[in-house]
Amino acid sequence: MNHITMEVFNEALKKLVQTLQNQEMKNIKEASKLCYESMKDDGVVHIFGSGHSVGFGMECTGRAGSLVPFHMIETSDFVTKGLYSLAEFKDPDNIFERRPNIADKLYDLYDIRPQDVFIIISNSGINGLVIDLALTAKAKGHKIIVITSMQHTLAEPSRHPSKKKLYELGDVVIDNCGPRGDALLETGNIEKICSVSSITGIYIAQSLTVEISRMFKESGIELPLLYSHEVENHLEHNQELLAKYKGRINA
Amino acid sequence: MDATNYFTKTQEILENATKSQKEAIVHMAKVMGDCMVDQGLIQLFGIGPDRAFAMELGYRAGGLMPYHQLNMKDLVLRGHLTLDEMSDPAFYDRTDLAEKLWNLYTIDPRDMVLIYAAEEVYDSTLALARIAREKGHKVLLVASFDAILNSKHKENAALLIDLTYATLNLCTPYPDTVLEIMPGIKITQVTNVVGNCFAQMLTAETYRYLVENGHDAPILLSANVTGADVHNRKISDVYLGRWNA
């Protein structure tokens, strides 16, 4: 039985975050460039992750210090917008995120414009829903940024009828550098413990914000940023920006 | 400035927070471990973006099973509220929602409630904590204390802290913006990095406490690893009707 403590986790996490920084910065910058090109043309970046990956979208949207033209898509939108019943959505024998051939319905729920970009997050990158949304968005001509665990996705078979995996559909792919199964620490039994993809996901999400903001600043174009209460006239500024994207971002 | 500045700044804040809260993390893990030994569930609550912490602990690959999320969105999914109501700016301060939410689930007397508040303690959050205390449940709080005690709802924060059995302070700045892109204009947040790391540290320390005291520590496998479904269903069926009810 291995000795698991918060210090053991911290040490392992520190190494992983360092790997992410060393290995993925080039891809983060390329992804930021795609987002910036879209946003400067009044585009919106749509973020989709099912399960806990929805946290990536939550991290990008709706807070002071965040860029406004991010839109978070949630699988629960299928229910709240009346496409599926809660019972169908929660069916334990037909797990929703694994189903193919329904993502086009999800795409059609929103005001998506030609210059918009997609960020699709899936640690495994093997499930029907994320792969189908990527296929749909690609077919409509959008650029796709994929965030996945390469170690995990290469170790598991695709659940999509095409046998494709999400990373194969990305114009830019960012490896979250996490292990297969997401948990970092060996316990000595079959199960590993302490997952990392949400943490590395936040580093990636925030890094995108930094890089996109830097590109806006260097171009001399006004940054579509939500101001904190420390900034004078922040309420008027924020309301004006939110109104500009109304109907295309989360309410 | 580039993204490496974010990594550096965040690491610095995280290291300081971890050093400052080490004993509090170990203590909270023990409290949660005792609840789990007693077959209790830890009911996780955070409103709006504060759901992040609940999502990091609840039904998570490499996490412990005995958690359940109290999710305001369930009120919409189950037809008690409309999406428009949830989008109303006054939504977070509707005190009637706490009881509605509580009544959606089967909450056992052995359960405890863990609340995450990154920046604000809204009226609905305080109302939920009061219901939990009135019904005899322990309330735990993970929050950025600088934020909640200086925010618009600071009176709520003080009242909530008085109700809690144990707390963790995220030790993050207020407002939660860390890099200056232009004079006086800041971007990026750090609170949820610290929050998610604290969630995983709690997992590690709760696991250690359970194992060192001779108890089972039911760990979930990633649902995207072959064979995980059978394992996960076996350990979650113990809480059937109470979990994801």
Cα separation, B170 vs B192, in Å, equals: 9
Name the B residues in 155-194 with CB < 8 Å from any A CB: 175-179, 181-182, 184-190, 192-193
For residue range B80-133, what is the model confidence (pLDDT) as tens digits? 999 889 888 899 999 999 999 999 999 999 999 999 999 999 999 999 999 999
For residue range B16-26, what is the model confidence (pLDDT) as tens digits? 999 999 999 99
Task: Flag whether A177 is in a domain.
Answer: yes
Total domain count for chain B? 1
Give B244's pLDDT tier (boundaries 50, 70, 90). Answer: low
Q: Note whether ipTM > 0.90 here.
A: yes
Q: How many CB pairs under 8 A join A and B?
A: 202
Q: What is the pTM of this model?
A: 0.96
Q: Can you give the residue range of the structural domain that contains A91? A: 6-244
* B203–A187 CB contact, under 8 Å: no
Task: Flag whether B245 is in a domain.
Answer: no
Q: Can you give the residue range of the structural domain that contains B25? A: 3-239
Residues of chain B neighbouring A62 (CB-CB closer than 8 A): 48-49
The CATH number linked to A111 is: 3.40.50.10490
When CB atoms are compared, the residue of A64, A202, A228 closest to B192 is A202
Task: Flag whether A71 is in a domain.
Answer: yes
Total domain count for chain A? 1
Strands A70-73 and A117-121, bridge-based pairing: unpaired
Nearest CA-CA distance, residue B101 and chain A, Å: 17
Task: Flag whether A87 is in a domain.
Answer: yes
The CATH number linked to B205 is: 3.40.50.10490
Task: Flag whether A197 is in a domain.
Answer: yes
For residue range A162-211, what is the model confidence (pLDDT) as tens digits? 999 999 999 999 999 999 999 999 999 889 999 999 999 999 999 999 99
